[in-house]
Structures are given as C-alpha cells and as structure tokens.
A and B are shown apart, each in its own frame.
Chain A
Amino acid sequence: MGWHLLRGWTVLVYLFMFLPIMVVVLLSFNASQFGSFPMTGVSFRWFVELAENEAILRAFRTSIVLGLLTSVISTTIGVLASLALVRYNVPARNAISTLLIAPILVPEVVLAVALLLFLNALSVNKSFALLLAGHVIFTLPFVILVVQARLVGIRRDVEEAAMSLGASPIQTFFQVTLPLLAPAVFAGMLFAFTISFDDITGTLFWKPGGVETVPTQIFAMLRNSISPEINALGTVMIFLTAGLPLAGIAIARRLALKRGG
C-alpha cells in the first residue's frame, strides 16, 4: 500500500518536472498559428519560420560562438589552475581554491552587477569581450571542480614513472596527465558550453547593445507575444543542451570501455 503511494507520488513529481517541457516540444509541432492548445495538426512550419528568422539565426550564431569560446578559455584556465593547486605547493592553496569556486556561491545577479560596476569604475565599455569574460568567470568553478576531482585521482607515481623513462615534465603532461584527465576536460568543456548557452541573468547585464544570445532573444520575443516559433526554438534548445552532454557521456563511456573499463 505504502509502496503504491510512493510510486504514484514519484510519477507525479516527474510529471511536474517534465510535463511543461513535453508541452513545449509537442506544441512546437502544432499547425495552429497560436502557440497553445488545442493542436490542430502536425507541421514543421514553425521550424521553417525559425530557420528564416534573421534575428534568431544571429542570436544562435552569437550563442554558439560565445559558448565555444567560453568553454575553450574556461577549460584551459581551469586545467592550469587545477594543476597548480593539486600538483604544486602553492602558498595559500585553500584560500585560492575557495576564491576560484566562489562564483558558484555568489548569486548570479550580484556577480553580474559587480562585474559591471567594476568595469564602469575602469570606464571600459560593454563589449563582446566583456560578455565572454563574464561567462568565463561564471563557468570556471564548474570546470575546476570537475578537473580537480579527477586530477586528485591520478597517481603521482604514474607521472614520475614517465619522467624516469625520459619524458620531460611537458612531455609527461601531454602524454600521460592530459590523456588521463581527458574525461574531466571533456566534461568541463560540455559544462561550460551548456551553462554559457543557457545563461540569461548575467548575459542581460553584460551584453552590449544590439547583441542577443538565444535566451535573451527569446526573452525579448516573449515581451510582444507568445509566438509558436518560441516553442520550436525551445525544442531546438532542449535537444542541444540535453543532447550534447548525453552524446558526450556516450563517447566517454566508449573510450573507457576500449581501455578495459
């Protein structure tokens, strides 16, 4: 009896979480010109319109470029910072570590305003570079957390063995440490990309005039009316931000399997 209740409750919780998303996906295929029920037929017309909407396409390009740059820069800095913190005797290691993780703990609005005020004080104008910097600061803690956890698990003696065999410290990094770190680097990049791609709060504060990312574009469109195009856009976003990590995990699994688990 108790089990049935629990099971029913669990189903309800999942419905609560996923029903809105399913509704969006469903409605994006609605033939009607209103972005809501009832469904009048199945059609791809909103996807076609989406593909022809210059503003949205521009936002997409901006988001993807921003996401890719964020993930590359954030991961590079994150890997180097983790290496320094884990492998070398950095003074005040704990303080630095906490400082690097702090952006996760600070509310995003506060972080957004702080960065803006800081740049105002330096009388620097808003720019794409600033937006990128904001996203890097914001995604860095996630990369560091993932990479550090993995790095701690890589035994020092494996690197020492490589050096004893004639590999210089740099060769050791590229031939031993980095390959062993690869799953974490990969995960860090995915994290950074999806977080950047999804972000709206900071982006609204930092973006220069005329530049829109996908989330800010949706936000702007919503102010006028709920167009069915937005449903289609939502569906595309869901497939990108959920599909990418899933594909990533699958690839990582396969790589691990090849090495005998």
Chain B
Amino acid sequence: MSRNLFKAKQYATSKVYRSRPQELKGSEEEKPNVPQGIMTKCSGCGNVIYTKLLMKNYKMCECGFYFKVSANERLAMILDENTFVEIDPQLTTRDPLNFPGYGDKLIKTQTQTGLVDGLVTGKGLIFGLPTYIGVMDASFFMGSMGTAIGEKLARMFEKATEEHLPVIVYTASGGARMQEGIFSLMQMVKVSAAVAKHSEAGLLYITVLTNPTTGGVTASFAMLGDIILAEPGALIGFAGPRVIEQTIGQKLPEGFQRSEFLLEHGFVDKIVTRDKQKDTIGLLIKLHYKEEERIVWT
C-alpha cells in the first residue's frame, strides 16, 4: 500500500532536473548515498525513493540531487549494452614510497569496494561508434590519483592514439593520492603528456566533470578536454573550498566552484544532465567521426 502511494508521487517522465547548488551542498560530505535495498533515502530532499526507479532514472532524484554513481553503473549509462572491454583491470599501485600503513589500507579498500583502484578504463561502443572510456570511482580513496590511475590513463591514451579513437573520461576525484607523494604529482605530467600526444594526432577527447573534481585531476587531464562537459551542481576546482576558506579567512559565496559557476566563468563547454549524457556524447563523437579512419572493431 505504502509502495503505491509512493509510486504515485515519483518520477513523471517530463521532469526537468535543474541543479540546485544550495541543496547539493551537503553532498561533498561523503555521506554514503549508494542505494541499498528496496528503498533509498535522498540526502537532498529526505524523500524515500524506490531503488529500482532511482536506477532507471540515472540515480537522479526529482529534487535535483545526484546520487553517487559507481564506475560500472556509469559505463552502463553511457555505452551500448555488452560492448565494454576493460583494459588493465588488475593494474595496481606498487606503493612507491613504501608509505606506513598504505599497503594494508589498500587491501582493505579493495576488499570493501571490489575495485582494484579508483579508475576503470576500456573500450566500448556508443551508438555503434567505438571509443575509449575511463571512469573514475570516488568510492576508492575518494577518487584520489596515484600511480595506478596515472598509468591506466596514460596507457589508454596511447592505445587510443595508435587506434585513432576518441577518449572520454569521467572525472571524480578528491585530488592527489597523498600516500604516493611525489609520484602522485608526477602522474599529472604523465597523463597530460599522453593527452597532448593524442591531441597532436588530431583525435577527440571529451571530459565529463562530476562531483567532486578537484586538485591534481582538475589541474591536469580534467581541464585538457577538447570539449569539457559537467554534471549539474558538481564541485569543480583546484583548491578545495575548505582550504580556500582557511587561506582567505572568509566564507565562500553561494554556488562557488559549482558546475554553473565554471560555465559562467568560461571553463566548461556545457552542463549536461545524466539522462542526456549518452545522447550528447554520442552526437559529439559522430560530429568528429571520420569514416576513412575507421578501424576494424572486433
């Protein structure tokens, strides 16, 4: 009975999902929003939502709140069904600083999340057109970039350059993997270098910035896309808001460092809601597609 009642007020298909930065504000506090069980509570509006419907609706609540999306869920939303082929699924960090406690924490996080590190890379089809795609997963060490992520991205860009394919990267990152120190910093160069070579070959690179995209990821491959898309209301910046507040000793204005703010300041091409991302990316790939460069897709 309660289920029917609930259904009645859920998801009309014509809803417009506007971003509401005020209501999204709490989302950076890393509350677990991963839908579990039959019902899921939205931390944007407090409503309880039928999980199946939430999944169908790209994990967007009608209040404008965006639930976190895992790398696998993201791939399912973007790629044609059963076309994804992962590369380097087992690639992991060698803990280059031999940092105290890091090895144990890695194993624990790998067990908890089922991920090897915070990025999945591979190849797939979007409306029948081949592309490489990398998706960061913020549930792994807050999506921080270490050597595993840097290496996987560099390899993906190198493969895409060889095969004349576009690259799509979904960013979600709290910044650098502190435990990998200077090596984490150097991944910014390594990945930017591979992006530059891909670009030099005349190939398309699209980034989609999701909540949150900060630090070394922003200051490298996130901002190097030929086309930079963003999800509504995502926190995007170099320095984190708390660090800035501490540095300047004042409160930050409403909506600061959100997608809409970046669009306003000229650093994002377009804000695209989740339900429209596949269409938009598919169209962009089609607009850059060259028949003569087509490689045989196996």
Query: Do A and B truly interact?
Result: no
